[in-house]
């Protein structure tokens, strides 16, 4: 296996699926000549040509709307929305059209559409380019929501997403694009709805997503020095959610801390907490705690942005609190 970046892993997934299936095409702002603002689509235009790698105007409603139409007639669009924050101007096309067509046409319609988009804070992009909005998409029946944390997961999950016959929202945290990891050279897939245990432990389960997986792993390493064994679970997909892996971990450790970069109020962690409370309440020895962003727009100021993003220290404090029962 080669050691490559998160962005390169996504690029490999694009190439594999575009070589496999001529109905797969890529569209979005600057995805062609420029190769995407994060480099994910670099080289695709040269390899596959302008009919299958299309630069678009800065019109998110047209990007998503045209992809929905293309998907209904047999193409498999992979569209790039630069920032998830921009989804507001095209939400109708995604949640009212793409997500509902299969249901409204009695299961006869297929909408094999992937919307890739960046999310998350950490680069000083301020309130309109830094949000984590995964809970929005989780709430919509008909959408699948994918959120990888490693290059290995990014490639395998994107391959599965492109092959899926349903609309998939594929969320990529900006701070992960340059991260590196071992990735197989060839083709492989990771089933959607399959969580991964990133670190095994016995005392506390920490469920974390995207960049927060790495923050949680850092906290777990420090807690190990204090004799606290933390199990870190990465859902990888939030819809469908692998409840069984999470619940089995909670039943083993009897404690649960949930970490995400979304604002805490009504975030994805609230759903995970509810699942644990409803299905594993008798196995819990302490209240469920969430470590998340405050209910605030993302600040531009570097010190404020740093405070906004959940830290290892906040995770450590939450773990020690649940250890006390």
Q: Which positions are annotated as active-site residues? A: 129
Task: Please name the helix (run of DSSP H) or strand (run of DSSP E) that holds residue 216, with its range, or none.
Answer: helix 211-224
Cβ atoms of 63 and 86 within 8 Å: the answer is no
Q: Is residue 82 helix, strand or coil? A: strand
DSSP string for 224-293? HTTT--EEEEE-SEEETT-HHHHHHHHHHHS-EEEEEEEESTT-HHHHHHHHHHHHSGGG-SS--EEEEE
In whole angstroms, give the CA distance from residue 191 to residue 196: 11
Give the rounded distance of the alpha carbon of 174 from its chain centre.
11
CA distance 241 to 134: 13
Write the secondary structure of 149-191 as one string of H (helix), E (strand) and C (coil): CCHHHHHHHHHHHHHCCCCEEEEEEHHHCCCEEEECCCCCCCC
Closest among 78, 180, 176 to 122, alpha carbons compared: 176
**SS3 state of residue 108:** coil
Kindly tell me the burial class for residue 292, based on how many C-beta atoms sit within 10 Å of its own C-beta (0-12, 13-18, 19 or more): buried
Q: How far apart are CA 230 and CA 208, in angstroms?
A: 12
Neighbours of 296 (CB within 10 A): 10
């Amino acid at each position: 296996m080669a050691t490559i970046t998160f962005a390169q892993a996504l690029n490999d997934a694009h190439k594999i699926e575009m070589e496999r299936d001529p109905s797969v095409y890529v569209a979005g702002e600057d995805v062609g000549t420029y190769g995407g603002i994060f480099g994910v689509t670099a080289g695709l235009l040269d390899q596959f040509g302008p009919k299958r790698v299309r630069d678009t105007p800065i019109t998110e409603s047209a990007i998503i709307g045209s992809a929905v139409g293309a998907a209904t007639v047999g193409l498999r669009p992979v569209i790039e929305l630069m920032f998830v924050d921009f989804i507001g101007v095209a939400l109708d096309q995604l949640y009212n059209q793409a997500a509902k067509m299969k249901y409204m046409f009695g299961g006869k319609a297929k909408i094999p559409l992937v919307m890739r988009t960046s999310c998350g804070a950490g680069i000083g992009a301020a309130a309109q380019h830094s949000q984590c909005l995964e809970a929005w998409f989780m709430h919509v029946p008909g959408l699948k929501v994918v959120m990888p944390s490693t290059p290995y997961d990014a490639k395998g999950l994107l391959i599965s997403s492109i092959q899926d016959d349903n609309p998939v929202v594929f969320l990529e945290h900006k701070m992960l694009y340059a991260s590196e990891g071992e990735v197989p050279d060839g083709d492989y897939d990771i089933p959607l709805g399959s969580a991964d245990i990133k670190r095994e432990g016995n005392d506390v389960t920490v469920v974390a997503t995207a960049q927060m997986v790495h923050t949680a792993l850092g906290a777990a390493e420090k807690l190990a020095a204090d004799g606290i064994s933390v199990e870190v679970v990465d859902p990888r997909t939030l819809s469908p959610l692998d409840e069984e892996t999470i619940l089995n971990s909670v039943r083993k450790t009897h404690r649960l801390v949930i970490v995400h970069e979304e604002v805490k109020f009504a975030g994805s962690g609230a759903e995970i907490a509810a699942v644990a409370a409803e299905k594993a309440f008798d196995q819990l020895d302490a209240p469920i705690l969430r470590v998340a962003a405050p209910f605030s727009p993302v600040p531009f100021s570097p010190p404020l942005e740093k405070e906004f993003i959940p830290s290892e220290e906040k995770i450590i404090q939450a773990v020690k609190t649940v250890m006390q029962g």
